[in-house]
Structure 1
Amino acid sequence: MTETTTPEPTTSEPTTLTVDVVVLGAGAVGENVADRAGRTGLSVAIVEEHLVGGECSYWACMPSKALLRPGAVLAQARAVAGAAGAVTGGVDVAATLASRDAIVHGWDDDSQVEWLDGVGIRLVRGRGRLAGPRRVAVTADDGAPVVLEARHAVVVATGSTPVLPDVPGLGDVEAWTSREATAVRDVPASLAIVGGGVVATEMATAFADLGARVTLLVRGDRLLPAFEPFAGEAVAASLAAMGVDVRLGARLARAARTDAGGAHLELADGAALDVERLLVATGRRPQTGDLGLETVGLEPGAPLAVDDAGCVSAVDGGWLWAAGDVTGRTNTTHQGKYDARVTGDAVAARFGPRAGDGPVDADGDDGWSPLRALADHAAMPQVVFTRPEVAAVGLTEDAARAAGLHVRAVDVPFSSVGGTTVFGTGPHDDGGAARIVVDEARRVIVGATFVGPEVAELLHAATIAVVGQVPLGRLWHAVPAYPTRSEIWLRLLEAYGL
Structure 2
Amino acid sequence: MPNSSQDTYDVVVIGAGPVGENVADRVVAGGLTAAIVEHELVGGECSYWACMPTKALLRDAAALRAARALPAAGHAVSGGLDPAKVLARRDRFTSEWNDSGQVEWLNQAGITLVRGHGRITGTRAVTVTHTDGTTTTVQARHAVVIATGSSAHLPPIRGLADVAPWTNREAAAVRTIPNRLAIIGGGVVGSEMATAFSDLGAQVTLVSQTRLLPGVEPFAGEQVTDALRTAGVSLHLNVEATEVGRDDSGAVHLTLSDGTTVEADEVLVATGRTPNTKDLGLDHLGLTPGDWLHVDDNLAVLDDTGTPLQDSWLYAAGDVNRRALLTHHGKYQARALGDAIAARARGDKLDLSPWGRHAVTADERATTQVIFTDPEVAAVGLSAEGATAAGLKIRIVDYDLGAVSGAALHADNYRGQVRMIVDEDRDVLIGFTAVGPDVAELLHAATVAIVGEVPLDRLWHAVPAYPTMSELWLRLLETDGRDR
TM above 0.5: yes
> Displacement of 1:274 after TM fit?
1.4
CA offset digits 1:272-298 (Å, max 9, x no partner): 121100000000022111111011121
Name the CA distance, whole Å, in 2 between partners of 1:13 and 1:184. Answer: 39
Q: Do the aligned residues in 2 keep the contact of 1:173 with 1:262 (CA within 8 Å)? A: no
Name the CA distance, whole Å, in 2 between partners of 1:300 and 1:460. Answer: 37
Match of 1:473 in 2: 457
Q: Does 1:109 align with 2:99?
A: yes
Match of 1:320 in 2: 314
The alignment partner of 1:84 has SS state of helix
Structure 1, unaligned stretches of length 5 or more?
Answer: 1-10
Name the CA distance, whole Å, in 1 between partners of 2:196 and 2:19. Answer: 26
Q: Do the aligned residues in 1 keep the contact of 2:57 with 2:90 (CA within 8 Å)? A: yes
Structure 2, unaligned stretches of length 5 or more?
Answer: 303-307
Match of 1:349 in 2: 343
- Kindly report which structure 2 residues correspond to 1:87-486, keeping only aligned pairs within 5 A, or say none: 87-220=77-210, 222-313=211-302, 314-351=308-345, 355-356=346-347, 358-361=348-351, 363=353, 367-425=354-412, 430-486=414-470
> Displacement of 1:271 after TM fit?
1.2
> Displacement of 1:55 after TM fit?
0.3
Match of 1:43 in 2: 33
CA offset digits 1:14-60 (Å, max 9, x no partner): 11111111000000000000000111221100000000000000000
Name the CA distance, whole Å, in 2 between partners of 1:286 and 1:172. Answer: 23
Q: Do the aligned residues in 1 keep the contact of 2:2 with 2:133 (CA within 8 Å)? A: no
The alignment partner of 1:72 has SS state of helix
Name the CA distance, whole Å, in 2 between partners of 1:284 and 1:421. Answer: 38
CA offset digits 1:383-437 (Å, max 9, x no partner): 00001000000000010000000001100011221111210135xxx42010000
Moved over 6 A (4+): none
The alignment partner of 1:168 has SS state of coil
The alignment partner of 2:215 has SS state of coil
Name the CA distance, whole Å, in 1 between partners of 2:383 and 2:13. Answer: 35
The alignment partner of 2:263 has SS state of strand
Q: Do the aligned residues in 2 keep the contact of 1:416 with 1:491 (CA within 8 Å)? A: no
Q: Which amino acid aligns with 2:410?
A: F
Identity of matched residues, %? 55
Name the CA distance, whole Å, in 1 between partners of 2:51 and 2:17. Answer: 12
Q: Do the aligned residues in 2 keep the contact of 1:310 with 1:342 (CA within 8 Å)? A: no
Q: Which amino acid aligns with 1:337?
A: K
Name the CA distance, whole Å, in 1 between partners of 2:462 and 2:441. Answer: 17
Match of 2:305 in 1: none
> Displacement of 1:250 after TM fit?
2.1
CA offset digits 1:94-142 (Å, max 9, x no partner): 1000000011000000000000000110000011111121011111122
| Cα RMSD after superposing both structures | 1.1
CA offset digits 1:201-254 (Å, max 9, x no partner): 00000000000000010111x111110000100000000011000111221010
Q: Which amino acid aligns with 1:396?
A: S
> Displacement of 1:362 after TM fit?
5.8
